[in-house]
Amino acid sequence: MRLPILSKVSSSYRIKRLIVGQMQANCYLVIDESLGQAVIIDPGDDAEYIIDTVTQLKARPMAILATHGHFDHVMAGFALQHTFSIPFYMHPLDQFLLDGMDASAKHFLGLPRADPAPTITHGLEGDMVLVCGSIKFFIIYSPGHTPGSVSIITKDEKNIFVGDLLFHGGSVGRTDFSYSDATQLIHSIGKILDLPDATIIYPGHGDPTTVGGETLYHRAI
């Protein structure tokens, strides 16, 4: 499956991190510098800020990719989906989290969201390949934190977006939710740590890290 508007050009892209919402979640813009096409990974909250940044960068979003369905990573999805008329990709096993987005936002933030949840246009599955301009992404199914968690790696294996799978400094995603699975989480982290040591890990919260750096904390995996 491919994202719309494909072009055969040499890969040259940049990554812009936006810290959004009360939960300080990371939203990433991955932009093809030759064509200006971009994907939005984990739209989080604060659609206006994301839209303003996209406009300032003169980028053309082609799709939204969600690593998982937790409300703090998808709340701006509806507004972005309709502002830019672009598809929203997420693993269908996390649909129940979109269905409960208002309740979760009210529980954690004290108020429900004004916008409805985004609509999954295409399901993300492991081993899928997505292309935006010259940027090719591979999808790695990495459940544990949620049933439908995925990681998104660039073809050159230089960058991977892992959502709440693991974080800088050895921390890992929560597995105390009724739908989480600690054994699956450990297995999923193992997949990520099999990548080259220099691969940069972009988590759903906090600063980037590297596979080599995190391997120091997860030698037993």
Q: Minimal CA–CA distance to 137: which of 118, 122, 157, 167?
A: 157
- The DSSP bridge pattern shows strands 60-65 and 88-90 to be parallel
Report pLDDT digits (tens) over 166-196: 999 999 999 999 999 999 999 999 999 999 9
Strand order in the sheet with 200-203: 129-132, 135-141, 150-154, 159-163, 200-203, 209-210
Res 60 pLDDT > 90: yes
Q: How far apart are CA 221 and CA 218, in angstroms?
A: 6
Please give the model's pTM, rounded to 2 decimal places.
0.91
Least confident of 22-31, 172-181, 211-220: 211-220
pLDDT for position 24 = 94
Number of other residues whose CB lies within 10 A of the CB of residue 145: 28
pLDDT for position 2 = 35
- What does the domain layout of the chain look like in residue ranges? 13-215
For residues 102 and 219, the model is more confident at 102
Alpha-carbon distances of 25 from 13, 22, 32, 76, 109, rounded to whole Å: 22, 8, 23, 12, 13
Check if the beta carbon of residue 165 is closer than 8 Å to that of residue 207.
no
How is domain 13-215 classified at the CATH fold level? Metallo-beta-lactamase; Chain A (3.60.15)
Check if the beta carbon of residue 148 is closer than 8 Å to that of residue 69.
yes
> Terminal CA-to-CA distance of the chain, rounded, Å?
32
Check if the beta carbon of residue 137 is closer than 8 Å to that of residue 154.
yes
pLDDT band at 10 (very low <50, low <70, confident <90, very high): very low
Strand partners, 140: 151
Report pLDDT digits (tens) over 63-74: 999 999 999 999
